[in-house]
């Protein structure tokens, strides 16, 4: 395995019926600026209790339900504009659900949440960090007014636990080759990925996989390994028909070596031994090779990345599966820590705890 070291204006503040239909019935974290979660401070059910942005932790204080009447509910209470205020800077808190316009929130196409009573948007006050109480403010299309709601389908397209918006948040500078659609299409090859175990485990697995992808590709920037001079042609009976130096790292997990291309191709039903460039030219195939490795190959480790996450072994074991002692057991600890940092950040975006056993 090779290792690599715009504002959208609201039109008439309209809301899409499709976006409301998708959101209604969903329960889970609402994420905003810097991947922080909308949070019921101290998990209180008292009227006027502050609602803040806070480090995502998977607790019930961050599990919001998008109700069919366009309210956002947590612990049986509703997100409410204090005193039905309409001025910039009016605080947003919790209050007993009462069906008033102060508790209506309409998702906008740019990720904003509009309170139609005030004509203002839910706003992370001053682009604040963890612990900042939210407010309403004139809708500006800014990042501190962009929120990702849980959907009734469990997150993203086809029930994938990562939504398109969260994927973009994880990879803001990604190469256009690496599409969210390509990833979702590839999921059909391995239906057990990010669907096994509890909702927490599913999100942890998705975060772990994407964190390793982030590390391998520099944030989904690189499709091909930068240094392509390495000889990844092992002495196998099928040889290296594409050329001795043709099996360098490609794709989200930068698969390399002729034996990996041969095995992945056999599993996926494509001839990657003769045509390794399919991994760098076909987005679905590219994602499929990464999922193939994650789901089926232990690499230099003792278990697959998938098994490490669904059986509770922890993120550290996924690093073993991908790069072994090169990074683990005191190898390159800086590279190992970069993977851990990515995982913790992605788990926060998905609103789950990263769990234990993070290093190797």
Instruction: Give domain limits for the chain.
Output: 27-145, 157-350
**pLDDT score for 20:** 41
- How far apart CA 21 and CA 345 sit, in angstroms, is 29
Residues 157-350, CATH architecture? Orthogonal Bundle (1.10)
**pLDDT score for 107:** 87
Nearest to 252 by CA among 300, 191, 310, 180: 180
Q: What would you measure as the largest C-alpha separation in the chain, in angstroms? A: 76
- How far apart CA 18 and CA 52 sit, in angstroms, is 28
**pLDDT score for 215:** 96
The full DSSP string for 2-68 is -----PPPPSTT---HHHHHHHTT-EE--B-GGGPEEEEGGG--STT-BEEEE-----GGG-EEE-T
**pLDDT score for 7:** 24
- How far apart CA 95 and CA 338 sit, in angstroms, is 41
Fold assignment, 27-145 = Trefoil (Acidic Fibroblast Growth Factor, subunit A) (2.80.10)
Q: Is position 216 annotated as part of the catalytic site? A: yes
Q: Which two tokens stand for residue 142?
A: 């800014």
Tell me how many helices (H) and strands (E) the chain has: 10, 11
- State the residue for tokens 């057991």: 329
Q: Record the pTM.
A: 0.60
Catalytic position from the list 205, 216, 225, 327: 216
- Cα dihedral sign, 336-341-342-343: positive
Pairing of strands 64-66, 27-28: antiparallel
pLDDT tens series, the chain, 360 aa: 433 322 222 222 333 333 443 444 567 788 888 778 899 999 999 999 999 999 887 778 888 888 878 899 999 999 999 999 999 999 999 999 998 999 999 888 778 899 999 999 999 999 999 999 999 999 998 989 988 777 544 444 456 889 888 999 999 999 999 988 889 888 888 888 998 888 889 999 999 999 999 999 999 999 999 999 999 999 999 999 999 999 999 999 999 999 999 999 999 999 999 999 999 999 889 999 999 999 999 999 999 999 999 999 999 999 999 999 999 999 999 999 999 999 999 999 998 999 999 999
- How far apart CA 341 and CA 339 sit, in angstroms, is 5
H/E run at residue 339: helix 333-350
**pLDDT score for 26:** 64
């Amino acid at each position: 395995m090779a290792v690599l070291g715009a504002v959208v204006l609201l039109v008439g503040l309209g809301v899409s019926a499709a976006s409301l239909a998708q959101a209604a019935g969903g329960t889970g974290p609402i994420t905003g600026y810097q991947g922080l979660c909308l949070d019921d401070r101290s998990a209180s059910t008292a009227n006027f209790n502050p609602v803040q942005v806070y480090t995502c932790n998977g607790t019930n204080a961050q599990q919001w339900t998008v109700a069919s009447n366009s309210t956002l509910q947590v612990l049986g209470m509703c997100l409410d504009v204090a005193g039905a205020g309409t001025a910039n800077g009016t605080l947003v808190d919790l209050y007993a659900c009462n069906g008033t316009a102060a508790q209506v929130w309409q998702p906008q196409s740019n990720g904003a949440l509009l309170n139609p009573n005030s004509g203002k948007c839910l706003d992370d006050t001053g682009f604040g960090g963890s612990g900042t109480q939210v407010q309403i403010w004139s809708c500006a299309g800014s990042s501190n007014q962009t929120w990702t709601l849980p959907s009734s389908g469990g997150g993203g397209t086809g029930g994938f636990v990562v939504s398109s918006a969260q994927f973009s948040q994880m990879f803001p500078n990604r190469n256009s080759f690496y599409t969210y659609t390509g990833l979702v299409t590839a999921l059909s090859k391995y239906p057990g990925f990010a669907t096994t175990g509890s909702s927490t485990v599913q999100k942890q697995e998705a975060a772990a996989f994407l964190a390793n992808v982030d590390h391998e590709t520099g944030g989904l920037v690189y499709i091909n390994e930068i240094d392509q001079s390495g000889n990844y042609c092992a002495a196998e009976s099928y040889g290296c028909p594409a050329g001795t130096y043709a099996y360098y790292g490609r794709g989200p997990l930068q698969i390399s070596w002729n034996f990996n291309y041969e095995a992945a191709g056999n599993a996926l039903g494509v001839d990657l031994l003769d045509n390794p460039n399919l991994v760098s030219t076909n987005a679905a195939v590219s994602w499929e090779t990464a999922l193939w490795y994650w789901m089926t190959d232990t690499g230099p480790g003792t278990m697959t990345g998938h098994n490490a996450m669904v059986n509770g072994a922890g993120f550290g074991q996924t690093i073993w599966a991908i790069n072994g002692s090169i990074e683990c057991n005191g190898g390159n600890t800086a590279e190992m820590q970069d993977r851990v940092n990515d995982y913790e950040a992605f788990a926060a975006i998905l609103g789950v705890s990263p769990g234990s056993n993070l290093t190797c």
